[in-house]
Amino acid sequence: MNVPDRPHAPQHAYLFADPAAHSLSPQMHRAAFAHAGIDGGYTARRVGAAGLPEAVAGLRQPGVLGANLSLPHKESVPALLDDLTPAARAIGAVNTVIHSGGRLRGDNTDAPGLLAALADADAPTGGLSVVLGAGGAARAAVYALRQTGHDVLVVNRTHARAQALAAELGGRAAWPETAPWSAVTLLVNASSAGLDAPDDSPLPTFPRLDRRALVYDMVYRPAETRLLRDARAAGLRAENGLGMLAHQARLAFTAWTGVDVPVTVFLEALKAAEATGDPAP
Ligand SMILES: NC(=O)c1ccc[n+]([C@@H]2O[C@H](COP(=O)([O-])OP(=O)(O)OC[C@H]3O[C@@H](n4cnc5c(N)ncnc54)[C@H](OP(=O)(O)O)[C@@H]3O)[C@@H](O)[C@H]2O)c1
C-alpha cells in the first residue's frame, strides 16, 4: 500500500538521519496510520550532527508523536532526552523517541524487533548464537539474545570491539578461525558487511554450522546478500533483515499511538516500496 504524505496532519512523526532519502520508514508508517484510521503524517528529514539538538527540541511541540533515529544519531541522541527505557540505557542507543506532554523518552525497538523477526522465522531457541559485528545493531542483538537466555559469541572484524561489547553486555568474544561453529544454531549478521555490496560477506569462508541453524542477516539491501546465498547453498534456512525492519517500526508506532497495527501492514508497505523503487521524500 503506497500512502501519500500528510505534511499537515494533526499528528506527526519524523525520521532524523543522514542520509535520509533511502529510508523506507515513511512508507511503513504512513501505511500504518492509514490502517489505524489515524490522521497522521511521517516525514524523513536529513539531519546532520550539528542540526540534531534543534531537530530534537522541535519534537516537544504539541501534535508531535516522536521520531525514529538512524545513522549517525542512535548513540548521540540519548544526551538530548529526558529519560531512557532500561533497554535503551543498557544498549546505549536509541532508535525511537516518544513525546508525551513536552517530555522525550528514548527507546530501542531494534532489540525486540529482532526477537520478533526471529520468532516469525521459527529460529532455534537452544544452542549457541553468534552475533557478527560490534556496532549499535550488534549491541541491540546481544542485549536481546542475552535477555532471552541465549549463549552468545560476538565475532567482529576489530576483535577488541567484540571483547568490549561482550564484557559490557554479556557473552564472549571469539575469532572466526576458532569459534565452535558446529554448535551454532543461530547466526545473526549485525555488521554492515554486505550492505549495498552483493559480493561482500562478513564471513568470506562460510563455516559449517549445526544443520538446524538459522542465518539471519540484518542487511536487507540487497535482499539476498552473499552471506544468505552461502547459507542456503549449505542447506540452511536464511532470512534477510526486512522482518526486523518491519517489527521495529511496528513497535515504534505502538509506542507513539497506542495502536498495535499488524506487522503484515508494514511488510506490505515495504514490498510495495521495493517494487516501485519509490524513494522517500
Ligand atoms: N534490519 C534492521 O531493522 C536493521 C536495524 C539496525 C541496523 N541494521 C543494519 O545493521 C548493520 C549495522 O548497523 P550499525 O548501526 O551497527 O553500524 P555500525 O555501528 O557502523 O557498525 C558496523 C559494524 O560492521 C562491521 N563491518 C563493517 N564493514 C565490515 C566488513 N566489510 N566486514 C566485516 N565487518 C564489517 C564493523 O566492524 P569494525 O568494528 O571492525 O569497524 C562494525 O562492527 C547495517 O547494515 C544496518 O543497516 C538493520
226 labelled as ligand-binding?
A: no
Asked, for residue 18, whether it belongs to a domain, the answer is yes
The one-letter amino acid at 56: V
249 labelled as ligand-binding?
A: no
Residue 47 has pLDDT above 90, yes or no: yes
Asked, for residue 85, whether it belongs to a domain, the answer is yes
Distance 36 CA to ligand 1 centre (A): 33
Statement to judge: residues 58 and 117 lie in one domain? no
Average pLDDT over residues 71-88: 96
Statement to judge: residues 234 and 137 lie in one domain? yes
Distance 165 CA to ligand 1 centre (A): 14
Distance 4 CA to ligand 1 centre (A): 31
Longest CA span, the chain: 56
Residue 64 has pLDDT above 90, yes or no: yes
Average pLDDT over residues 270-280: 74
Check pocket membership of 45 for ligand 1, CB cut-off 6 A. no
Which residue, by CA, sits nearest to atom 13 of ligand 1? 137
Tell me what pLDDT residue 280 has.
41
CB hemisphere CA count around 20 (13 angstroms): 20
Exposed/middle/buried for 75, CB within 10 Å: 0-12, 13-18, 19+?
middle
Average pLDDT over residues 74-93: 97
Asked, for residue 281, whether it belongs to a domain, the answer is no
C-alpha dihedral (272, 31, 106, 155), degrees to nearest 10: -20
- In this predicted model, what pLDDT tens digit does every residue of 154-201 receive, in sequence order? 999 999 999 999 999 999 999 999 999 999 999 999 999 999 999 999
Statement to judge: residues 218 and 269 lie in one domain? no
Q: Annotate the chain with DSSP letters as a single string.
A: ------TT-SEEEEEEESS-TT--HHHHHHHHHHHHT--EEEEEEE--GGGHHHHHHGGGSTTEEEEEE-TT-TTTGGGGSSEE-HHHHHHT--SEEEEETTEEEEE--HHHHHHHHHHHTT---SSEEEEE--SHHHHHHHHHHHHTT-EEEEE-SSHHHHHHHHHHHSSEE--TTTS-GGGEEEEEE-S-TTTT-TT--S-SS-----TT-EEEES--SSSS-HHHHHHHHTT-EEE-THHHHHHHHHHHHHHHHS----HHHHHHHHHHHHHHT----
Statement to judge: residues 146 and 251 lie in one domain? no
Answer whether the bond into residue 262 is a cis peptide, omega within 30°.
Answer: no
Share of the chain above pLDDT 70, in %: 98
Check pocket membership of 245 for ligand 1, CB cut-off 6 A. yes
- The grid coordinates of residue 193 equal 558487511
Which residue, by CA, sits nearest to atom 47 of ligand 1? 219
Answer whether the bond into residue 72 is a cis peptide, omega within 30°.
Answer: yes
CB hemisphere CA count around 206 (13 angstroms): 19
Tell me what pLDDT residue 14 has.
98
Distance 7 CA to ligand 1 centre (A): 32
Among all residues, which ones are annotated catalytic?
74
Statement to judge: residues 248 and 183 lie in one domain? no
Residue 278 has pLDDT above 60, yes or no: no
Q: Which atom of ligand 1 is nearest to the CA of 245?
A: 3
Residue 259 has pLDDT above 80, yes or no: yes
- Cα–Cα dist 128/149, whole Å: 10
Statement to judge: residues 235 and 248 lie in one domain? no
Q: Sorting pLDDT into bands at 50, 70 and 90, what band is 269?
A: very high
- Cα–Cα dist 7/1, whole Å: 18
The one-letter amino acid at 92: G
User: How many domains are there within the chain?
Assistant: 2
More confident residue, 279 or 268: 268
Average pLDDT over residues 25-31: 97
CATH assignment of the domain containing 238: 3.40.50.720
Statement to judge: residues 150 and 257 lie in one domain? no
Statement to judge: residues 152 and 182 lie in one domain? yes
Check pocket membership of 109 for ligand 1, CB cut-off 6 A. no
Asked, for residue 1, whether it belongs to a domain, the answer is no
Q: Are residues 141 and 111 in contact, defined by beta-carbon separation less than 8 angstroms?
A: yes
Question: How does the average pLDDT of the chain come out, rounded?
Answer: 95
Q: Sorting pLDDT into bands at 50, 70 and 90, what band is 281?
A: very low
Asked, for residue 95, whether it belongs to a domain, the answer is yes
Residue 279 has pLDDT above 60, yes or no: no
- Cα–Cα dist 73/79, whole Å: 11
Average pLDDT over residues 47-69: 98
Q: Which atom of ligand 1 is nearest to the CA of 158?
A: 40
Asked, for residue 5, whether it belongs to a domain, the answer is no
Residue 8 has pLDDT above 80, yes or no: no
Check pocket membership of 140 for ligand 1, CB cut-off 6 A. no
79 labelled as ligand-binding?
A: no
Check pocket membership of 135 for ligand 1, CB cut-off 6 A. yes
Mutation test of ligand 1: which of 18, 23, 192 has the most ligand atoms closer than 8 Å to its C-beta?
192
Average pLDDT over residues 116-120: 98
- Residue count of the chain, please give it: 281
Identify the domain containing residue 257 by its residue range: 11-109+243-276
Statement to judge: residues 20 and 71 lie in one domain? yes
Mutation test of ligand 1: which of 77, 110, 191 has the most ligand atoms closer than 8 Å to its C-beta?
191
- The grid coordinates of residue 265 equal 501492514
Asked, for residue 6, whether it belongs to a domain, the answer is no
Tell me what pLDDT residue 145 has.
97
Statement to judge: residues 164 and 225 lie in one domain? yes
CATH assignment of the domain containing 38: 3.40.50.10860
Check pocket membership of 133 for ligand 1, CB cut-off 6 A. yes
Statement to judge: residues 28 and 77 lie in one domain? yes
Asked, for residue 15, whether it belongs to a domain, the answer is yes
Statement to judge: residues 208 and 262 lie in one domain? no
Tell me what pLDDT residue 1 has.
63
Residue 128 has pLDDT above 60, yes or no: yes
β-pairing, 103-107 vs 83-84, is parallel
